[in-house]
Every structure is written in C-alpha cells, then in structure tokens.
Amino acid sequence: MKIVQIQGLYKNFGEKVALTNLNLEVEEGEIYGLLGPNGAGKSTTLHIICGLLRQDRGNVRVFGKETCKQMKAIKAHLGLVPQELGLFEELTAYENISFFVSLYGIKGKKLEEKTLKALEFVGLEGKRRDKVKSFSGGMKRRLNIACAIAHEPRLIIMDEPTVGVDPQSRKHILEAIKFLNKEGATIIYTTHYMEEAEALCDRIAIMDKGLCIAEGSQENLKSIINDKNSFCIQVAYIEKVEEAILKNIKGVESIQFKEDSIHIVSKKEISCLDPILSYLAQRECVIMGVNTQVTNLENVFLELTGRKLRD
Ligand SMILES: Nc1ncnc2c1ncn2[C@@H]1O[C@H](COP(=O)(O)OP(=O)(O)OP(=O)(O)O)[C@@H](O)[C@H]1O
C-alpha cells in the first residue's frame, strides 16, 4: 500500500520557490530517505505531509486520505520528530513524553505504559525523573524522538534527528529506527549524513531546488553514475594546474580542486587518465598518488546536485 502519495506539489514563500511540481510515493513498511542540499525543500515537504503547512497547489494523500480534508484522522497515526528540539526544559523526561502522548487522547494506565515504553526505547528510563534542562544534547535528541513515537504511530517522519549527537547516541538512534521499522512503522527520514541514509534507507529521493531529481533503491541510484569513473589525484604544486585545460581533455565530465588534490569524474568508456597525467607532468607537478573512488551514495549525491559550495 502507498502510505504517502504526493502529486504535483508546489509551495512558494513570497518570491521564494520551495517546491515546484514535486511527485513522490512512499510504500508502507519502508524506510524512505529524503536527501538534498540545504534549501532543497525537504522540511517544507515534511511539514506539508504533517499538515503544518498548506501547499499552493498539488495533492497529498497519507494513508489514502487527503491531507487538506482529513488531517485529523491522519494525525492520529502520524509521528513527527522535528529538526528543532520541541521539549519543555523545566519538565522531566517522563512529563515531556506523557504530555505528547496525552494529546492523542490517551489516558490513565495506557498513558503510563506508553510513556515508560518510549523512555525505555530511547535508553532514558533511568532519567525519567530528571528535568530536561540537565540533559546532554544526545539525551535531548533521544527524548525528542521518544515524544514523537510514544503513541506508536504508523508513519514516523524524522527531520534530521541525529544533528549534533555523539557516535554513541547516533548508534542508539539508528538502531531504534531499524527496530521501529521492523515492528511495522513506515519511516520517512531526512539527513545530511550519507552514511546514515546508506545504512537505513530502502529507497531514497534526492531533491534539489524543490524538485525530486532522482529516486529509487540505493542500487538504482548508484547505477545512474555507474557509466562514469571517479578518481582523485594528489598533486604537489597544484597551483600550476589550469582547470580549463583539464576540463577540455576528452572524456572529462567534471573537475573539483581541493587543497592538494584534484577530483575527476570521467566517462567510463574513454580513458582520460593518461592524458591527464601527461599534462600534469608537463606542468612539472609532482604526482603523490592516484585513487579510484568507489560508487557510494555521497558520489551519487554530489554528482547529481553539484560539487560547488552553495550559499
Ligand atoms: N517560512 C519560510 N519563509 C520563507 N522561506 C522559507 C520558509 N521555509 C522555507 N523557506 C525557503 O524555502 C526553501 C526550502 O526550504 P526547506 O527548509 O524546505 O529546505 P530543506 O531542504 O529542508 O533545507 P535544510 O537542509 O537546510 O533543512 C529554502 O529556500 C528556504 O529558504
């Protein structure tokens, strides 16, 4: 079953275009990654799915119901882990979770059970009576997740839930997400950490400038750039190298300069390493090493969204 269906979605903020004809579908039971550079439109998309924002045009269905007409019914089975922490610092961990659970009309013994289960789930059962203001960043992130999942939603939307956490908390959070998914929850996950998306997601959409520019399984996405070679040449005296000349070598598709290395993407069928090395030798650069790079999600992401720094 398609748990989220987005068709022809548009959203502007004044002059600013946030989404422009976005189309996405999320199947029940999957972990669906939403990746994209800053400002790509990920949070706007998630906020529209949750009914926090209204689209200008287009159709969004969650659990087969239209968000514009049946948001109340949708919200009962939806959990949102927001990018910004949404916690009450003066309340304890227990009080924070039980407040959010109570918003779903859950009371009494059930409220207590669900709150304790969520505390245990994020490894904070020993801190239940402590005020949030005494928590570390990682503990707050975990509590933020507990507040969103304690009512046991069918669809969990996570907007960069691991920002600023240490490796231990990150590991705990990623394992918890896998567990929730095994238990039956569908998860939509945004992150800037490619290795997280690689470890978690069944399918991924890459967004840029309000559009979905690629979508599919990790294998599908990698196959987009499998007709290319990617390699890195470490060079001393890199200042002697002229980018325009390298770019003109047959087969070269893109070039990126770093402090002491050049990253090159080329067509697979044309071998351009020899002419590049000859050119570097001609310029009396010292070649310190050449590394071929394996195709991973980060290469795909950078290839599709560009390697230039964004404002
Ligand atoms: N409330 C708002 N008012 C004005 N512009 C906004 C607002 N919310 C988002 N935008 C703009 O819409 C575009 C998409 O923003 P959005 O937050 O959805 O991107 P994002 O992919 O989530 O980025 P990030 O990775 O930085 O969180 C950006 O250009 C952003 O500046």
Per-residue pLDDT of the chain (311 residues; tens, 9 = 90+): 999 999 999 999 999 999 999 999 999 999 999 999 999 999 999 999 999 999 999 999 999 999 999 999 999 999 999 989 999 999 999 999 999 999 999 999 999 999 999 999 999 999 999 999 999 999 999 999 999 999 999 999 999 999 888 888 899 889 999 999 999 999 999 999 999 999 999 999 999 999 999 999 999 998 887 778 888 999 988 888 899 999 999 999 889 888 889 999 888 878 888 999 999 999 988 899 999 877 788 888 888 888 666 66
Cβ contacts of 29 within 8 Å, gap of 6 or more: 181, 184, 186
Residues of the chain within CATH 3.30.70.100 domain(s) are: 227-294
Report CA(128)–ligand 1 centroid distance (Å): 35
Report the residue among 22, 42, 81, 207 best suited for mutation to probe ligand 1: largest number of ligand atoms under 8 A from its CB.
42
- The Cα 298–Cα 296 span in angstroms is 5
| Number of residues assigned to the chain | 311
Interface ipTM? 0.97
Element (H, E) at 187: strand 186-190
**Which of 119, 99, 122 lies closest to 111 in space, CA to CA?**
99
For residue 33, give the H/E element and its range: strand 31-35
Output the CA 47–ligand 1 centroid distance in Å.
11
For residue 158, give both structure tokens.
């996570």
User: Which residue's CA is the nearest one to ligand 1's atom 4?
Assistant: 13
User: Which ligand 1 atom sits closest to the C-alpha of 40?
Assistant: 21
Read off the amino acid at residue 217: S
Ligand 1 centre from 41 Cα, in Å? 6
**Chain centroid, CA 256 distance in Å:** 24
Give the right CATH number for 2-222 from 3.40.50.300, 3.40.1360.10, 3.40.190.10, 3.60.70.12. Answer: 3.40.50.300
Looking at domain 227-294, its CATH class is: alpha beta
User: In this structure, are residues 150 and 111 in contact, taking their beta carbons and an 8 Å threshold?
Assistant: no
Q: For ligand 1, atom 16, which residue shows the shortest CA distance?
A: 41
